[in-house]
């Protein structure tokens, strides 16, 4: 079975954590690598960038 990779485009790092996120009233779970998890936790990655990644992977409805 193939190893799961980070949700972020162009990131080939393995998933190390699943982060819960509520964006525009919709709950999402982001499977991310350690570096991106740290950046999200510290606010380095803007909410707008998270929205782009979510819509790119799950469509405009997101996941519940």
Q: Which pLDDT score is estimated for 2?
A: 65
Residue 62 DSSP label:
-
Query: Which of 1 and 50 is assigned the larger pLDDT?
Result: 50
The phi, psi pair for 38, rounded to 5°, reads -65, -45
In the chain, the domains with their CATH numbers are: 1-64 (3.30.60)
Given the DSSP bridges, would you call strands 26-32 and 17-23 parallel, antiparallel or unpaired? antiparallel
Q: How confident is the model over 1-42, as pLDDT tens digits?
A: 567 899 888 899 999 999 888 877 888 888 999 999 999 989
pLDDT band at 62 (very low <50, low <70, confident <90, very high): very low
Average pLDDT of the residues in 38-49: 88
pTM: 0.73
The helix/strand/coil state of 17 is strand
Q: Which pLDDT score is estimated for 3?
A: 77
Tokens of 25: 């009233």
The phi, psi pair for 3, rounded to 5°, reads -75, 135
Q: From 5, 22, 25, 23, select the one nearest 14 (Cα to Cα).
A: 5
């Amino acid at each position: 079975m193939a190893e799961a990779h980070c949700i972020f485009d162009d990131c080939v790092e393995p998933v190390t954590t699943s982060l819960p996120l509520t964006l525009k009233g919709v709950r999402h779970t982001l499977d991310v690598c350690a570096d991106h998890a740290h950046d999200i936790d510290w606010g380095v990655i803007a909410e707008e960038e998270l929205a782009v990644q979510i819509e790119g992977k799950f469509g405009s409805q997101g996941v519940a």
